[in-house]
Amino acid sequence: MCKITAVVNQKGGVGKTTTTLNLGYALAEKGKKVLLIDLDPQSSLTVSLGYDDNDSITTTIASLMSMVIEDEELPDKKEYIISVGAIDVIPCNIELSAIEVSLVNAMSREMILKTVMQEFKEYYDYIIIDCSPSLGMLTINALAACNSVIIPVTPEYLSAKGLELLLRNIIRVKKKINEKISIDGILLTMYVERMNLSKEIKEMIEDAYGKTVHIYTNRIPKSVKVGESTMKNKTIIEYAKNNKVAIAYQELAKEVLDNECSTN
Ligand SMILES: Nc1ncnc2c1ncn2[C@@H]1O[C@H](COP(=O)(O)OP(=O)(O)OP(=O)(O)O)[C@@H](O)[C@H]1O
Ligand SMILES: [Mg+2]
């Protein structure tokens, strides 16, 4: 069965895109069929794979959502998926911000992405959605379409504080739109083991949410290699396979798969 996971946090720069890409890659390395969806008008995931606006990406998640809004038939899967090594990706460009506006007046506006998803659920073990740093209509669509969420959080005070608003929104969506949604876990990213602040924020998050939400035992450390890998259009696992961040994402993939087995 396909699991659809949204990587979500309305706070910017907490590692959503990096987590989507590297967790997706690590799961594919373990033999899983993985599809990544770039649902952020900034298109960071698409760009980090080496595609930018000059490239001729013919179909994006924006065009697919637009077809659903207009009641048009979706084209063949091959036409809108970019294969990057072992992972498949549905890319994005800035047109997605126009879709967000048009969603306001669309019928069943929260369900557009979910309708798109129906087309390819059967082909994948994991679909991971990279959300934008907002709680707008696109993120609501991701929450409506997914089975679970992963919440990356950096060890900073404002990042930890923002969790409250995010969790409240997820609970609202769960009550009103998608009762199947579960919170897979809070993932500490850019974690610097030797910094007191990292430790303090970790404890703050554990105290506030540890009883109700899973907090991944694997934390993602901070490394300059991550920025370098993005510039080379590679995952950190391909770029520097012995790097601590590469190892952490591979361990996270194991944890994700183990949690799966224990809940099935
Ligand atoms: N483990 C890490 N160590 C060092 N730098 C990192 C790490 N993870 C991500 N970064 C860097 O931090 C920045 C933000 O990461 P990323 O783009 O993944 O966050 P995001 O939550 O997707 O941001 P946005 O909210 O803008 O979409 C990027 O420049 C990225 O290269
Ligand atoms: Mg991002």
pLDDT in tens, the chain (264 residues): 899 999 999 999 999 999 999 999 999 999 999 999 999 999 999 999 988 765 667 789 999 999 999 999 988 877 789 988 899 999 999 889 999 898 888 888 999 999 999 988 999 999 999 999 999 999 999 999 999 999 999 999 999 999 999 999 999 999 999 999 999 999 999 999 999 999 999 999 999 999 999 999 999 999 999 999 999 999 999 999 999 999 999 999 999 998 877 655
Q: Residue 184's pLDDT is what? A: 95
Q: Residue 56's pLDDT is what? A: 66
Q: Residue 260's pLDDT is what? A: 77
Q: Are strands 3-7 and 34-39 parallel, antiparallel or unpaired?
A: unpaired
Q: Residue 132's pLDDT is what? A: 97
Tokens of 24: 């997706």
Q: How many CB atoms lie within 10 A of CB 223?
A: 17
Residues whose Cβ atom is located within 5 A of ion ligand 2: 16-17, 44
Side chain identity, residue 19: T
Closest ligand to 162 CA? 1
Q: Residue 215's pLDDT is what? A: 95
Q: Residue 129's pLDDT is what? A: 98
Question: Model pTM?
Answer: 0.96
Q: Give 26 Cα–ligand 2 centroid separation in angstroms.
A: 18
Q: Residue 120's pLDDT is what? A: 85
Residue closest by Cα to atom 29 of ligand 1: 227
Q: How many CB atoms lie within 10 A of CB 59?
A: 16
Do 6 and 211 contact (CB within 8 A), yes or no?
A: no
Q: Residue 131's pLDDT is what? A: 98
Q: Give 149 Cα–ligand 1 centroid separation in angstroms.
A: 18
Q: Residue 71's pLDDT is what? A: 92
Q: Which helix (H) or strand (E) holds 38?
A: strand 34-39
Q: Residue 104's pLDDT is what? A: 83
Tell the CATH topology of 3-263.
Rossmann fold (3.40.50)
What b/e readout covers 132-151, taking b as 16+ CB neighbours within 10 angstroms? bbbbbbbbbbbbbbbbbbbb
Atom of ligand 1 nearest to the CA of 20: 18
Residue closest by Cα to atom 16 of ligand 1: 15
Q: Give 92 Cα–ligand 2 centroid separation in angstroms.
A: 12
**Ligand 1 pocket by Cβ (under 6 Å):** 12-18, 40, 42, 44, 133, 189-190, 220, 222-223, 226-227, 230, 245
Among residues 255, 241, 227, 244, which one has the least CA distance to residue 17? 227
Do 74 and 67 contact (CB within 8 A), yes or no?
A: yes
